Amino acid sequence: MNVTPQTFSPRQIPTFPREVYEATVPENVADYLVTTVRAEDPDSAASRSVTYRLASGDPGSFAVHPRTGVVRTLRGLDFERRRTHELVVGTEEAFAAGAAGAGAGSTCRVVVSVEDRNDSPPLFTRLPRGNIIEVHGDCCFACKPNQYWYTH
C-alpha cells in the first residue's frame, strides 16, 4: 500500500482589494445607498460565498447587506450633530477564522461625509413696523398675519 502525503491548505479568508471607501450622503435621508463594498474570496468562484457584516460603526444608523455588500443609511443623519461617520466592514468568514482586523485586507473602512441641507429655514415671528423684507429666489409666505418664512 502506497500513501501519498497531501498538504492541507486551510480555508483562505476573503479580502477587500480596497482599504477605504468614501461617500457623501445628504442630511436627513433615510435608506440612502452609501456605497457597495466588495471582498474577494480565493476559495470561491466569483466571491459568491462572502457574507458581509458591520464590524464597527453605528448600527442604528447604517447597515450592510450580508450578500451584496450594499451599505445604506437606516435613518437620516444630522450634519449639525456629526459631519463624518466611519464604519468598518468585514466578513463573517474572517470573523469565524478570528482574522477580522488581524490581517491586511480582512476589513475595509467606509468614511461617510454628511452633506449639509437647509433643514431649519428662518422663521420670522414678528417684524417691526415699517421694515421691508426683500426676498430673492423661491419663497413662501404664510397666510397668518405677521408670520413669514422662507423655504428653500
How confident is the model over 9-36, as pLDDT tens digits? 456 789 999 999 999 999 999 999 999 9
CATH 2.60.40.60 fits 20-115, yes or no: yes
- Cα 71 to Cα 69: distance, rounded to the nearest angstrom: 6
Determine contact, residues 85/79, Cβ cutoff 8 Å.
no
Residue 143 DSSP one-character state? S
Q: Does residue 93 have a pLDDT over 90?
A: no
- Cα 80 to Cα 83: distance, rounded to the nearest angstrom: 7
Domain ranges of the chain: 20-115, 121-152
pTM of this structure? 0.70
Closest by alpha carbon to 69, among 33, 20, 28? 33
Q: What is the pLDDT of residue 74?
A: 97
* Mean residue pLDDT across the chain: 81
